[in-house]
């Protein structure tokens, strides 16, 4: 006989509210029902009432982890509508910030995963490395979370000490390559908790529209930085790590390898950082028009639809975050799993419920 367990909206393992009702037979999960919306803030409603300059700050608050991604995507959409040129130096700085953000996001996730696995030492190691990246972000922008780097037509701040950024990123890469990846991939405890657990098949990943590392761990070879390049990504060399197993372990491996790729991208940007302006001056309106803008955030594809009527306020801003696409994949992931593995499996999505709810 099956029974149903309501879990949430407050979780022991996750800091954000969301509810999952799990249907079990014994300790085996046979189905699940998800409920989100506990952090619904009406950001799309607000974006139609604030001017686009204010909305840059608003969009940066869609997500508390990948905040830069949202203000950047919003600015890129407005720049496309207005055919506004972004100076080369600003484009490089945007990529650098985006990759540093990916580093701190992936390291944060690795730490959370380590804690869920029950490996406290590894958790501390990951957060120590993440702190190094946070220090770099703070040294560049003055902020640790909402960096306020993006403006329409460029960026607000320059890279003052590129050597410090280079040294910091090298230290992170060395630590990840020599400590984190070997531990995550060879430790028997990690393998026992993660290999073959929470499998998302390629077919299910496609049917649910999974994005980012979750999709790539299920064998889907997609990354907008390569497939639909924006900014200067078409001028940079990087690999797109793919795994085919679709398990928690595969998602760990994909993100770990992506950390190394992001470090390489940051170094390439610093090597080729051109001189020049950061922006072309203040812009408060864009002409009437509409566009879709998509970029590859740490958790996967971010989708913005922005429509302008030529005034200083957007006529429509639609935001689809990566976790919005990924959370429904929890249902096929936990089907057949052991009840005790649910926190780790849903954690392996690297979910962000606040940005999902907006």
- Give the residues lining the site for another protein (CB under 8 A): 36-37, 40, 42, 44-45, 48-49, 80, 206-210, 220, 222, 224, 226-228, 291-294, 301, 303, 305, 307, 315-316, 318, 320, 324-325, 327-328, 357-358
Choose between 80 and 132: whose C-beta lies nearer to another protein: 80
Tell the smallest beta-carbon distance from residue 39 to another protein (Å).
9
Choose between 191 and 307: whose C-beta lies nearer to another protein: 307
Specify the residue for token string 């998800």: 34
Tell the smallest beta-carbon distance from residue 191 to another protein (Å).
31
Choose between 209 and 343: whose C-beta lies nearer to another protein: 209
Choose between 80 and 166: whose C-beta lies nearer to another protein: 80
Choose between 171 and 307: whose C-beta lies nearer to another protein: 307
Specify whether the CB–CB gap between 346 and 20 falls below 8 A. Answer: yes
133-139: Cβ within 8 A, 24+ apart:
133/100, 133/103, 133/104, 133/107, 133/168, 133/172, 134/104, 135/168, 136/100, 136/164, 136/165, 136/168, 136/169, 137/97, 137/100, 137/101, 137/104, 139/164, 139/165
Specify the residue for token string 């690999």: 239
Tell the smallest beta-carbon distance from residue 292 to another protein (Å).
4
Choose between 101 and 357: whose C-beta lies nearer to another protein: 357
Tell me how many helices (H) and strands (E) the chain has: 16, 8
Tell the smallest beta-carbon distance from residue 269 to another protein (Å).
22
Tell the smallest beta-carbon distance from residue 42 to another protein (Å).
7
Choose between 226 and 277: whose C-beta lies nearer to another protein: 226
Q: How far apart are the first and last CA of the chain?
A: 38
Q: Is 208 exposed, middle or buried (0-12, 13-18, 19+ CB in 10 A)?
A: buried
Tell the smallest beta-carbon distance from residue 73 to another protein (Å).
12
Q: What is the DSSP string of 17-41?
A: --EEEEEEETTEEEEEEEE--TT--
Tell the smallest beta-carbon distance from residue 270 to another protein (Å).
27
Q: Is 87 exposed, middle or buried (0-12, 13-18, 19+ CB in 10 A)?
A: middle
Tell the smallest beta-carbon distance from residue 227 to another protein (Å).
3
Distance from C-alpha of 103 to C-alpha of 97, rounded to nearest angstrom: 10
Conformation bin of residue 276: beta by default, left when phi > 0, alpha when psi is -120 to 50: left
Choose between 103 and 211: whose C-beta lies nearer to another protein: 211
**Among residues 158, 130, 181, which one has the least CA distance to residue 298?**
130
């Amino acid at each position: 006989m099956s029974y149903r367990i309501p879990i949430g909206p407050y979780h022991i393992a996750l800091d954000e509210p969301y509810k999952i009702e799990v249907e079990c037979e014994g300790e085996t999960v046979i189905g699940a029902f998800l409920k989100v919306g506990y952090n619904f803030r009406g950001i799309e409603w607000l974006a139609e009432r604030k001017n686009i300059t204010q909305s840059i700050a608003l969009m940066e608050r869609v997500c508390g982890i990948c905040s830069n991604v949202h203000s950047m995507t919003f600015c890129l959409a407005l720049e496309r509508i207005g055919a506004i040129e972004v100076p080369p130096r600003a484009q490089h700085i945007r990529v650098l910030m985006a990759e540093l953000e990916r580093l701190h996001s992936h390291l944060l996730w690795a730490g959370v995963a380590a804690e869920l696995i029950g490996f406290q030492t590894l958790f501390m190691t990951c957060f120590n490395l993440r702190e190094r990246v946070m220090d770099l972000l703070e040294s560049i922008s003055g902020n640790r979370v909402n960096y306020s780097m993006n403006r329409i037509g460029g960026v607000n701040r320059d890279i003052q000490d590129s050597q410090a950024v280079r040294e910091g990123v090298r230290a992170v890469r060395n630590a990840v390559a020599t400590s984190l990846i070997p531990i995550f991939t060879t430790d028997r405890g990690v393998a026992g908790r993660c290999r073959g657990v929470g499998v998302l098949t390629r077919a299910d990943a496609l049917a649910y529209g999974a994005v980012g590392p979750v999709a790539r761990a299920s064998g889907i070879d997609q990354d907008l930085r390569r497939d639909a390049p924006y900014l200067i990504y078409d001028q940079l060399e990087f690999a797109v790590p793919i795994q085919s197993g679709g398990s928690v372990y595969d998602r760990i491996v994909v993100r770990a390898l992506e950390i190394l790729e992001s470090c390489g991208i940051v170094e390439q940007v610093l090597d080729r950082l051109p001189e020049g302006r950061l922006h072309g001056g203040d812009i408060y309106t864009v002409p009437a028009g509409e566009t879709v803008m998509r970029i590859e955030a740490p958790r996967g594809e971010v989708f913005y639809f922005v429509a302008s009527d030529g005034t200083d306020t957007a006529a429509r801003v639609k935001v689809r975050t990566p976790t919005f696409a990924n959370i429904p994949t929890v249902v096929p992931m936990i089907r057949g799993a052991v009840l005790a593995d649910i926190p780790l499996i849903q954690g392996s999505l690297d979910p962000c419920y606040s940005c999902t709810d907006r």
